[in-house]
Amino acid sequence: MSGRAVTPTYLPSSFPPLQGNLKSWLLDPRANDQFSVVLEGGEKVAVYNNCKPDPAPAEARPRWTETYVRWSPLGTFLVTFHQRGIALWGGAVSCSCCCCCC
């Protein structure tokens, strides 16, 4: 059997502290909502600002996810799903990975 030894005492996972303003999108003077779209048969994910008359791209990345993406309940994080786990993305327009549980 390989892997880590199981300890009889619970040890919580440790992650680096979150950096930046995770709710920076709320500071947009136009108060735009954001939405995400998986494009090109899953090869690309894009985040758009929902503004008038047409949505404006905020961020797009190739192969940002292996399956699909979801927003956290309060819209703080974009969650990308991968074979090895999930990644939480948040912050300014150029999102940074906050926590990778892969």
- Reported as a single tens digit per residue, the pLDDT across 8-29 is 888 777 777 767 777 777 777 8
CA separation for the pair 48, 27 (Å, rounded) = 16
Question: Within 13 Å of residue 48, how many CA atoms lie on the same side as its CB?
Answer: 12
User: What is residue 9's predicted lDDT score, i.e. its pLDDT?
Assistant: 86
List the 44-50 sheet strands across, edge first. Answer: 33-39, 44-50, 56-62
Please count the other Cβ atoms lying within 10 Å of the Cβ belonging to residue 71: 14
Over residues 50-89, the pLDDT tens digits come to 888 888 888 888 988 888 899 988 888 888 888 888 888 8
Please count the other Cβ atoms lying within 10 Å of the Cβ belonging to residue 51: 14
User: What is residue 98's predicted lDDT score, i.e. its pLDDT?
Assistant: 53
